[in-house]
Structure 1
């Protein structure tokens, strides 16, 4: 089939012009080369495709049958080319983004409001799941971009850093007082005494905090696993325990005094957040615009709330 593609183009042109010489001029090839190509196609298919006369050529019954399929194929190709040109002219594109629920709410969605106003013709699909699942979708080519922490294997991906985030533990002043944490400020005793709220183990943030706790030999006797960071924030605000949250996403609660940051004797290092693409993947103009516009916007996390 592959070797016949050029032959079908010649066949299609001859059928449309009904003239060998005219078809040869359109295709910028010699008449003998064109005739040889037609004979090869007829030989390969085992049929006669044209009847020849002094007035030109006409399709045989077999030729007409083949022509219907070839015409449909070339029409589809022409429509595809026209669609691509039209999309380029109009800036039409489709971007598939994988992101965790938390990063989607606090970082991605506020930016999308601005981006979609500037690029209304770019269609965007958001797939919300854990960052680990986002990386799996990226590896399978099912998304174009992932909004995640910096990958463990940076050589495999292109990473466009947007900012750094800081993980902290928070609680209400009332909970701190009831548990006597204010008089301790001992990291190990805090974790042993308080109810500690963390995300599930499939979450990258939880894995990062687990590594932090293991490295510093921190144990918690009362662990509450919560499905989303939004719930951890809300549970912390009603005094259910101390919650591990991203500092930039509770800026208002900290400023208003609804939550208080628990001081830790062992610092939690900040994490880099950004867009990631597969290194070998094609970056469409829409994807490039999406990343470029974000960099130019340079909004702080607090502004995105």
Structure 2
């Protein structure tokens, strides 16, 4: 097997066409360069240099080898530069998965802060429902994910990032109902506006009604938080939504929160990675920004 250092000595000798100059650049002695070249030629059973009175010249075989060695060391140097850039967060990427609502209302402000601080980091976002995002994370398609909890999976390391409080909101049409506490039965009688079937939010509220012996079917199913809030504002019924996502509309009097006798339990949002994976430097720094912004 050829010693990697021999290739380095060969490369510098070929570039300078002089053993002494190569030795000076490599910070070794000229005899060390000469001995390494000799050892390399003996190992390969080929002459790599013509020994001349004023230096050396590559043989045909040496020239053929030089092209490969130069490219190889060039790639190694590029790799070192790339790794240094990754370390300094001037290059790299993070792949994050989350639902649309979490991307907009929880993730985006922190992504903006991260992007301003590290503009060279490429951000790849993958959206979907929590079950879909969980599978993509386990398949290695994304590095990390924001998930609606609970999620029980032995392959994942999940840490709680935030707690969401949900509520039912209505527009001016149903404003009068916001002045008193409603039972679950009274809520079930209203036109209901839910997120699409299969979403964690939809499963949560259906289970909440089921625990009270009620089976509900929404009048309107939508795929985004913004549409939920808009249809509620327009008077189509009561939308089930996280309070923090519509706090501005509540403060402005565009939406009104319905008060429930049996309060809704809070839900947690978790940050998940695979147990068998270490986060990249870029992802680690993003997590720190995310946690600092949420706490």
Match of 1:110 in 2: 109
1:121 and 1:222, CA in 2 relative to 1: closer, same or farther beyond 3 A? Answer: closer
In 1, the alpha carbon distance for the partners of 2:123 and 2:40 equals 46
Match of 2:71 in 1: 72
1:94 and 1:14, CA in 2 relative to 1: closer, same or farther beyond 3 A? Answer: same
Alignment of 1:80-229 (within 5 A): 80-89=79-88, 91-150=90-149, 152-153=151-152, 155-172=154-171, 174-175=173-174, 185-191=182-188, 193-229=189-225
Note if contact 1:232-1:245 (Cα within 8 Å) is conserved in structure 2: yes
**C-alpha offsets along residues 243-282 of structure 1, whole Å, 9 cap, x if unaligned?**
1111111223333443333334544321111422222322
Give the TM-score taking structure 1 as reference length. Answer: 0.76
Moved over 6 A (4+): 29-34, 54-57, 180-184
1:244 and 1:67, CA in 2 relative to 1: closer, same or farther beyond 3 A? Answer: same
5+ long unaligned stretches in structure 1: 300-305
The 3-state SS of whatever aligns with 1:263 is strand
**C-alpha offsets along residues 7-50 of structure 1, whole Å, 9 cap, x if unaligned?**
46524522532659958958xx898787556544x37xxxx352
Match of 1:50 in 2: 48
The 3-state SS of whatever aligns with 1:210 is helix
Root mean square deviation of aligned Cα: 3.7
- From 220, 238, 242, the counterpart of 2:238: 242
Number of residue pairs the alignment of both structures matches = 287
Moved more, 71-80 or 49-58: 49-58
5+ long unaligned stretches in structure 2: none
Moved more, 200-209 or 6-15: 6-15
Note if contact 1:97-1:145 (Cα within 8 Å) is conserved in structure 2: yes
